[in-house]
Structure 1
């Protein structure tokens, strides 16, 4: 989160920038305020103070707190989905447990490296977050289902696409639960150990399919 927590321009300079250059700086400030106070507890005045600008300047860039939060979520969503896509292997591989270890560990490593962004996504309870999480989750399920269907098809499993959808929902749900555990209790696990342990548990269930 270096880019988010170390803005390219200081708050003192933000007031002198044009709207297009102010927007990312205000988003950076809003990110910190939302992390500290949550969506309901954050105010446009607090965001303005953090950005070093007046409240009218914030409203000149974003019409409402909801719009500001939505754009912040879109920015974080693009980055997070890119990390998740990078964690998923391109091919299912001959060893499903190894594929699971690589995918889950890569995802959990991304969570551990950018915990604040994932706290916004996974721990916040506001409606805008929930809607974004559901959309991102559907994309993850589609990607995982494609990999699982290819693996099941190679084994001659009946109705591989149908079974793959069920397994994909279960896998994504397990990964989300692991991410929350990593955020809430970071001292109990590291990403590598959690990814391997979870993959082993899931692989045992897969062998029964």
Structure 2
């Protein structure tokens, strides 16, 4: 039986808009941003803040130096939120209503700006934070690891007390689902912004029937 469902954030629970994020960072005067911002795995300073090598103040100082002016927290947060075309609230309703009997986890390559937003009362119309929907969040910026590094999956399995064969993982990154599958985790790779509710219903029915 499937007992654990692990969800990515961007592309799965959020619909992403990379082009809007690029426009906003470009407007701040950050050079070479197109080379560093990727839907699945960042590079440069953006990778360093996602894998925990840079703190938020260090990242802000580095971007300020590259832009040639002092950037505020709010300016950088606003640029990052260009990525978030929408927080797909109906998916959180689905988690609450139809996935309530499963242990829900979040595994995301993300940064302190998005994590702060997810834990604020601005995250959803209900005012509920992301942590209220899951057993545990595994955020790359807090773990010092990014997907698809196999070590982030090893820690997730260990700290989440999961059995891979009892776990379903949703991620829009093909390399990430491929790595999860190497551990024997069941996977589904939706397209960015896809309404994956019916495919997941069907997959859970099939997997639970096989394992009954």
What TM-score range do you get, normalising by the shorter chain? 0.3 to 0.5
Larger Rg, first or second structure (1 or 2): 1
Q: Which structure has more helix as a fraction of its residues?
A: 1
Give the alignment's TM-score, normalised by structure 1.
0.36
Q: Which structure has more strand as a fraction of its residues?
A: 2
Give the alignment's TM-score, normalised by structure 2.
0.36
Specify which structure has the bigger relative contact order, considering alpha-carbon pairs within 8 angstroms and separated by 6 or more residues: 2
